């Protein structure tokens, strides 16, 4: 496709792997080193990403409330989040005396690990994926459900009634909103005929699904946005940590780096959810193509895939961040009503619509 | 002994170890967590065998569904934070006996089974093949069990709704009406104070 730009992420990765395979005879050792490099790169990327998302969140908050946001530390306040991280590093990590120590320390680890596992099948650029698993979409929705165990564990082991209440709320919330997320993803699986993320991206070469699937896919995109915002416990669905009612919900008792891990997991989840939406509905790294306009498509191909991917992802992150300052928090009963009486029936009917559309070939 | 054998033994040890801890732990919440780890390790075994679909379903069903339900019921139980009583000696003895016989039975079954490698070509465990097999009406198709299980699930769901539904009985309405007639404009407080029971 890009004859002039031969350097791509996949070729760099392949070059490193070949070089390792040539210089080290032992195959297992090469694999282990490959995995280690991948893990370290991913962690480094995530730390930078979380710094950026933290900064972006504050700037978006400022933008929505007609104020500046951070503007003292570093140019345009860009080092504020670094200062905050250093502060968190030096804080004392307190453990409540009556808490279940083992589970108390384990809970943040489980939450972070669950959100790291979901990163595996995300396609950052053409052929640049950690694990192109054949059941990508199912894998993501299944592994992300491990996080709820971490939240419940944190709430229970803290020995604090606010934590317990927050954990209960979050459990009910995540378990119910998972259904809508799954059903809205199934709409695309029906159209593209595959669960594998690379296939789903490839099926959008002639146009993104949000355009090709028109009305039903737009409905499922909106449902996905709402339900996934609820699933990652962000406002207006942040009942699990509603400050005014529950001090900080399930992480009330956490401080220092353990608290930072919850924050880290929240930002990783935000990125993952947006990346899934970008991949499934907006074609991932696939450039914007318009029908048979060869010249236009050719110009679009010159923009590298990872810029497309991150552009779309950050657009969706921006939308989700705006929710936080736009809508008031829902009550628990309203939250459950929204899911079980509105989103779920709508997405079920929508699934039937998409199926009919796929059979009759009504999509573009 | 190559890497895949080592990985298999690590996974197997995790399954058995967490399973043992789940039954021996005296804290009920920890038991649930160990059970969770055991189930996740089984999912890991499926992933290790390249049965990715089954592994993901294992996580969805057991981790996302059943263990969360167990944890919820622990949350709603009073005094779940304390230590459980140690089981009586007699119980331990008979439980050990049952486990021993179970182990012997399993060993004998495995011992009698001749593990002959199949000559048939292995079918790729892809979602397409699983789906086609599930809905196939030919000799080795699973359409009948699939439909029977879906009927079972449907009836279970209807049963749940019937149990959870709030029934507004007509008698309740009548009694409320009588109350209003008898006490006229009296508010709730006076009704409570008059000590009259309204039978539903």
Token pair listed for A302: 């010159």
d(CA B91, CA B96): 8
Nearest CA to B135 out of B124, B125, B146 is that of B146
Residue in the block written with tokens 């628990």: A332
User: With a cut of 0.90, is the ipTM above it?
Assistant: no
Does some domain include residue B88?
no
pLDDT tens digits for range B115-138 = 888 888 877 778 888 888 888 888
Q: Last residue of a domain, which of B83, B113, B144? A: B83
Query: Is the pLDDT assigned to residue A261 strictly greater than 90?
Result: no
Does some domain include residue A281?
yes
Q: Which of A142, A157, A164 lies nearest to residue B59, judging by beta carbons?
A: A142
Say whether both A232 and A141 belong to one domain.
Answer: yes
Q: Last residue of a domain, which of B83, B109, B139? A: B83
Note whether B52 contacts A168, CB cutoff 8 Å: no
Domain that holds residue B52: 1-83
Q: Which residues of A touch B41 (CB under 8 A)?
A: none
Measured CA angle at B174 (ends B172, B176), to 5 deg: 70
Can you give the pLDDT at residue B80?
67
From chain B residues 121-180, the ones with a CB under 8 A of any chain A CB are 126-127
From chain A residues 236-265, the ones with a CB under 8 A of any chain B CB are none
Say whether both A202 and A75 belong to one domain.
Answer: no
Does some domain include residue A1?
no
Please give the tally of structural domains in chain B. 2
Residue in the block written with tokens 């049965």: B51
Note whether B71 contacts A152, CB cutoff 8 Å: yes
Say whether both A61 and A178 belong to one domain.
Answer: no
Max mean pLDDT among A294-303, B1-10, B149-158 falls in B149-158
Query: Is the pLDDT assigned to residue B17 strictly greater than 90?
Result: yes
Q: Is B54 on the interface with A (CB under 8 A)?
A: no
Residue in the block written with tokens 């039937």: A352
> How would residue B13 be classed by pLDDT, with cut points 50, 70 and 90?
very high
Note whether A102 contacts B63, CB cutoff 8 Å: no
Please give the tally of structural domains in chain A. 2
Q: Last residue of a domain, which of A60, A90, A120? A: A90
Does some domain include residue B65?
yes
Q: Is the dihedral of CA A210, A316, A118, A266 positive or negative?
A: negative
Backbone angles phi, psi at A305, to 5 degrees: -60, -40
Does some domain include residue B123?
no
Q: Which of B3, B30, B40 lies nearest to residue A28, judging by beta carbons?
A: B3
Does some domain include residue B41?
yes
Note whether A139 contacts B57, CB cutoff 8 Å: no
Can you give the pLDDT at residue A256?
78
Q: Last residue of a domain, which of A63, A90, A117? A: A90
pLDDT tens digits for range A99-125 = 778 888 888 899 888 888 888 888 888
Task: Give the distance from residue A65's alpha carbon to the nearest chain B alpha carbon, in angstroms.
Answer: 38
d(CA A329, CA A244): 11
DSSP for A36-59, please give it: HHHHHHHHHHHHHHHHHHHHHHHH
Say whether both A56 and A128 belong to one domain.
Answer: no
Which residue pairs, CB below 8 angstroms and at least 24 apart, start in A40-48? A42/A116, A42/A119, A42/A130, A46/A116, A46/A119, A46/A264, A46/A268
Does some domain include residue B141?
no
Q: Is the dihedral of CA A309, A143, A198, A349 positive or negative?
A: negative
Contact yes or no for A238/A329 (Cβ under 8 A):
yes
From chain A residues 28-47, the ones with a CB under 8 A of any chain B CB are 28
Q: How many CB pairs under 8 A join A and B?
A: 74
Does some domain include residue A345?
yes
Say whether both A128 and A180 belong to one domain.
Answer: yes
Say whether both A128 and A260 belong to one domain.
Answer: yes
Query: Is the pLDDT assigned to residue A2 strictly greater than 50?
Result: no
Does some domain include residue A69?
yes
If one counts every other C-beta atom within 10 angstroms of the C-beta of residue A35, the result is: 11
Burial class (CB in 10 A: 0-12, 13-18, 19+), A88: middle
Contact yes or no for B63/A146 (Cβ under 8 A):
yes
pLDDT tens digits for range B79-88 = 666 777 787 8
Say whether both A276 and A148 belong to one domain.
Answer: yes
Contacts of A43 (CB under 8 A, 6+ apart): none
Instruction: For helices A256-282 and A214-231, give the axis angle rounded to 10 degrees.
Output: 170
Whole-prediction pTM: 0.84
Contacts of A229 (CB under 8 A, 6+ apart): A236, A237, A273, A320, A323
Query: Is the pLDDT assigned to residue B198 strictly greater than 60?
Result: no
> How would residue B63 be classed by pLDDT, with cut points 50, 70 and 90?
confident
Q: Which residues of A touch B68 (CB under 8 A)?
A: 148-149, 152, 171, 175
d(CA B59, CA A150): 14
pLDDT tens digits for range A248-259 = 777 777 877 888
3-state DSSP helix/strand/coil percent for chain A, to nearest 5?
A: 70, 0, 25
CATH code of the domain covering residue B11: 1.20.120.1200
Task: Give the distance from residue A315's alpha carbon to the nearest chain B alpha carbon, in angstroms.
Answer: 30
Q: Which residues of A touch B27 (CB under 8 A)?
A: 100
Domain that holds residue A220: 91-360
Q: Last residue of a domain, which of B65, B83, B101? A: B83
Measured CA angle at A119 (ends A265, A41), to 5 deg: 90
Say whether both A115 and A168 belong to one domain.
Answer: yes
């Amino acid at each position: 496709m890009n004859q002039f730009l031969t350097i791509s992420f996949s070729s760099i990765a392949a070059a490193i792997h070949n070089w390792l395979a040539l210089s080290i005879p032992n195959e297992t050792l090469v694999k282990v080193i490959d995995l280690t490099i991948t893990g370290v790169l991913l962690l480094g990327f995530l730390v930078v990403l979380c710094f950026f998302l933290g900064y972006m969140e504050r700037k978006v908050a400022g933008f929505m409330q007609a104020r500046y946001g951070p503007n003292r530390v570093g140019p345009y306040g860009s080092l504020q989040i670094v200062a905050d991280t250093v502060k968190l590093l030096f804080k004392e990590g307190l453990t409540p005396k009556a808490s279940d120590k083992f589970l108390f320390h384990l809970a943040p680890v489980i939450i972070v690990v669950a959100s790291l596992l979901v990163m595996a099948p995300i396609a950052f650029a053409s052929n640049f994926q950690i694990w192109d698993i054949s059941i990508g979409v199912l894998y993501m929705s299944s592994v992300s459900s491990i996080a709820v165990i971490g939240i419940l564990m944190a709430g229970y082991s803290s020995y604090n009634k606010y934590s317990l209440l927050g954990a209960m709320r979050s459990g009910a919330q995540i378990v119910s909103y998972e259904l809508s997320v799954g059903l809205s993803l199934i709409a695309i699986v029906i159209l593209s005929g595959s669960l594998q993320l690379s296939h789903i991206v490839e099926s959008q070469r002639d146009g993104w699904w949000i355009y090709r699937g028109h009305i039903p896919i737009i409905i499922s995109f909106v449902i996905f946005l709402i339900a996934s915002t609820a699933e990652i416990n962000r406002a207006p669905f942040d009942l699990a940590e509603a400050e005014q009612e529950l001090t900080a919900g399930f992480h009330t008792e956490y401080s220092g780096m353990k608290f930072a891990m919850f924050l880290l997991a929240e930002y990783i989840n935000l990125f993952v959810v947006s990346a899934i939406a970008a991949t499934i509905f907006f074609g991932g790294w696939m450039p914007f193509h318009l029908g048979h306009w060869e010249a236009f498509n050719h110009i679009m191909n010159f923009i590298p895939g990872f810029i497309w991917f991150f552009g779309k992802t950050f657009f969706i992150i921006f939308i989700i961040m705006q929710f936080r300052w736009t809508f008031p928090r829902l009550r628990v009963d309203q939250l459950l009503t929204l899911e079980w009486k509105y989103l779920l029936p709508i997405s079920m009917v929508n699934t039937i619509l998409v199926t009919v559309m796929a059979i009759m070939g009504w999509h573009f | 002994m190559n890497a895949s054998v080592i990985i298999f033994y690590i996974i197997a040890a995790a399954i058995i170890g967490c399973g043992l801890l789940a039954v021996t732990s005296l804290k009920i919440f920890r038991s649930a967590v160990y059970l969770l780890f055991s189930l996740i390790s089984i999912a890991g075994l499926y992933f290790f065998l390249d049965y990715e679909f089954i592994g993901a379903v294992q996580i969805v069903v057991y981790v996302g569904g059943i263990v969360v339900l167990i944890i919820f019921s622990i949350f709603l139980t009073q005094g779940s934070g304390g230590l459980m009583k140690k089981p009586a000696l007699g119980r331990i003895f008979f439980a050990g006996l049952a486990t021993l016989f179970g182990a012997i039975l399993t060993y004998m079954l495995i011992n009698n089974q001749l593990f002959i490698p199949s000559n048939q070509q292995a079918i790729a465990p892809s979602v397409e093949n699983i789906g086609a097999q599930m809905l196939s009406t030919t000799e080795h198709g699973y359409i009948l069990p699939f439909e029977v299980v879906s009927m079972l699930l449907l009836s279970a769901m209807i049963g749940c709704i019937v149990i959870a539904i709030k029934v507004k009985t007509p008698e309740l309405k009548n009694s409320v009406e009588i109350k209003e007639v008898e006490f006229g404009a009296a508010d709730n407080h006076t009704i409570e104070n008059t000590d009259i029971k309204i039978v539903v």
